[in-house]
Homo-oligomer: A and B are copies of this chain.
Amino acid sequence: MIKIQPGQTRIGWIGTGVMGGPMASHLARAGYALAVYNRTRAKAEALLDGGAVWAESPQQLAERSDVIFTMVGFPQDVREVILGPEGVVRGLAPGAVLVDMTTSEPALAEEIGRACEAKGGFALDAPVSGGDVGARNAALSIMVGGAAEVVEALMPLFRCLGQKIGYHGVSGAGQHAKMCNQILIASTMIGVVESLLYACRAGLDPARVIESIGSGAAGSWSINNLGPRIIRGDFSPGFYVDHFIKDMGIALAEAQRMGIVLPGLALAYQLYLSVRALGHGRSGTHALMLALKNMCNMRVGS
């Protein structure tokens, strides 16, 4: 089994955006030799300036790495950089480990697991919650699926990236745990925006309402952190509506496959499609308020 040591273990990082960039930098700072690949090279410049080596393709990156992390956008991106013609699996060395941290499909995680095993390597799925702030502060919650001994071996790396590392089982289990997170957020957010909409329409001061209800049985991270932003009309992300729609779509497909009924998630999905139709795909998830207001024929800010 791979042994992780700063200065010796060679790390490859694919996807250096708003999440992946700061995450990779934590590993570089911890003393790991870093190779990077990104679709847009410009977004990797900060890491390259810090001493990371550029790789011309995911395959080349894998050839020179003991552990390869991927943190990209959508499942099709995951498929391309890992299973594609110049993907990670082509270059994966025996004993090397691929860690996909993108929020993606559980079934794809299983497929990637099998592909890596066929090359004598290993794969973990390890999506995160905590957003860009959590990525910058190394305060992410990381939900991991894959072989337990591989997860254990990679703990020194995970501890550079997050505060809470949860092991959830075989390949795909990390993705499933992340789906639980997104399902929970989806309906919680409906409650937040409906509560604040009611407060405003009833003539209450919504900030006072949050003060009264935010720390009791109705309380949530969403009402206390996003509620005030909703009141101010500040719908900047946070977490993009477009990405949340992707995640909910995965969860709904999985739920259908597993034969379970999730009416709240189905409603949230439809309401978020309305948020996107209103031109707010790149706003934060709390822009759900705008879909509700629009349904009430109330003025929707831009």
Identify the A interface with B (CB < 8 A).
106, 129-131, 134, 141, 143, 164, 166-169, 173, 176-177, 179-188, 190-192, 194-199, 201-205, 208-209, 211-213, 215-223, 225, 239, 251, 254-255, 258-265, 267-268, 271, 292, 295-296
Contacts and interface: CB of A to CB of B under 8 A. Distances in A.
Nearest to A166: B212
Contacts of A177: 199, 204, 208-209, 212-213
A181 B225 CA distance: 16
Nearest to A258: B201
Q: For the complex of A and B, list the 8 residue pairs with the smallest distance between their C-beta atoms, beginning with the closest.
A: A187-B191, A220-B220, A166-B212, A190-B264, A176-B202, A184-B195, A184-B218, A187-B190
Given A180-B202, A198-B260, 8 more contacts: A129-B217, A176-B203, A179-B198, A180-B199, A181-B216, A187-B191, A197-B260, A197-B262
Nearest to A131: B217
B261 A264 contact: no
A221 B219 contact: yes
A23 to B, nearest CB: 16
Given A143-B212, A251-B198, A264 B179 contact: no
A217 B226 CA distance: 10
Given A185-B218, A221-B220, A204 B265 contact: no
